[in-house]
Amino acid sequence: MRRITIVDGYNVLHSSKRYRRLLENDIDSARRALLADLGAWREPDEAIHLVFDGDQGPGLESVFEDPSGVTIVYAGAGSDADSVIEGIASKHVATTEAVVVVSSDNQIRFATCWPKVSILSVKQFDDRIAVVEKSWQERVQPKLKVRVEDRIDPTLKNQLDRMSGRGDAN
For position 152, what pLDDT does the model report?
76
37 close to 127: Cβ distance less than 8 angstroms = no
CA distances from 51 to 139, 147, 157 (A): 30, 46, 58
Residues of the chain with pLDDT under 70: 1, 55-61, 136-151, 167-170
Q: What is the pLDDT of residue 37?
A: 93
* pLDDT 10s digits, 16-50: 988 998 988 888 999 999 999 999 889 888 999 99
Q: Which domains are delineated in the chain?
A: 3-137 (3.40.50)
Q: Are 82 and 107 contacting, i.e. CB atoms less than 8 angstroms apart?
A: yes
Helix then strand count (H, E) for the chain reads 8, 6
The number of C-alpha atoms within 13 Å of 156 and in the hemisphere containing its C-beta is: 6
| pTM of the model as a whole | 0.76
pLDDT of residue 120: 93
Q: What is the pLDDT of residue 94?
A: 81
Q: Are 96 and 2 in contact (CB under 8 A)?
A: yes
Please report the pLDDT score of residue 140 as a whole number. Answer: 61
What pLDDT is stored for residue 59 in this prediction? 57
List residues bridging with 3 in a β-sheet: 46, 98
Q: With CA atoms as reference, report the closest residue to 106 among 122, 95, 84.
A: 122
Residue 64, CA atoms < 13 Å, CB-side half-sphere: 14
CA–CA distances in Å: residue 45 to residues 11, 62, 92, 162:
25, 23, 14, 60
